């Protein structure tokens, strides 16, 4: 997942949490509507509205905080992934260079052995020829 996908998912999560908080606040308001008695009814409604609004705001703040934490964690993960990929690439390059050097060395050794074998064959051929 790249950084843009992570940001998009975090934004969607924030929107969903804000909507849930708003709906919850509205449901709380509707459920606490005027009671059967007339003593302090509007005062209770206004306190309930204030409390619901505070809860909704706290929910939004909590969601925003969670998004920021998630974003930070995602960015750290991306950076660590990049570092590990770069390290792996460097190790692969080093191994390739080492194998090139080893291959060249083996080719040189094989060439020398072949030349020695040719020289020995020439000597034996000269010995066998009258």
- Would you kindly state where each structural domain of the chain is located, as residue ranges? 3-101
Closest CA to 67 of 107, 121, 12: 12
The 10 Å Cβ neighbour count of residue 63 is 19
* Apex 68 CA angle, 64 and 69, nearest 5: 115
What distance in Å separates the CA atoms of residue 67 and residue 13, rounded to the nearest whole number?
8
pLDDT by residue for the chain (130 residues), tens digit each? 567 777 777 777 777 777 777 776 666 556 655 444 545 456 676 787 788 788 888 888 888 888 888 888 888 888 888 888 888 888 888 888 887 777 788 888 888 888 888 888 888 888 877 6
79: three-class secondary structure by DSSP: helix
């Amino acid at each position: 997942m790249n950084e843009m996908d992570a940001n998009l998912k975090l934004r969607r999560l924030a929107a969903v949490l804000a909507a849930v908080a708003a709906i919850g606040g509205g449901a709380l308001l509707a459920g606490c509507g005027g009671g059967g008695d007339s003593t302090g009814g509007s005062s209770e409604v206004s306190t309930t509205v204030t409390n619901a609004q505070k809860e909704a705001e706290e929910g939004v703040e909590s969601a925003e905080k969670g998004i920021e934490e998630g974003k930070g964690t995602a960015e750290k993960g991306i950076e660590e992934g990049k570092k590990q990929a770069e390290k792996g690439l460097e190790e692969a390059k080093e191994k390739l260079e080492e194998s090139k050097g080893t291959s060249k060395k083996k080719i040189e050794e094989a060439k020398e052995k072949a030349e020695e074998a040719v020289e020995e064959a020439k000597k034996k051929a000269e010995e066998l020829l009258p």
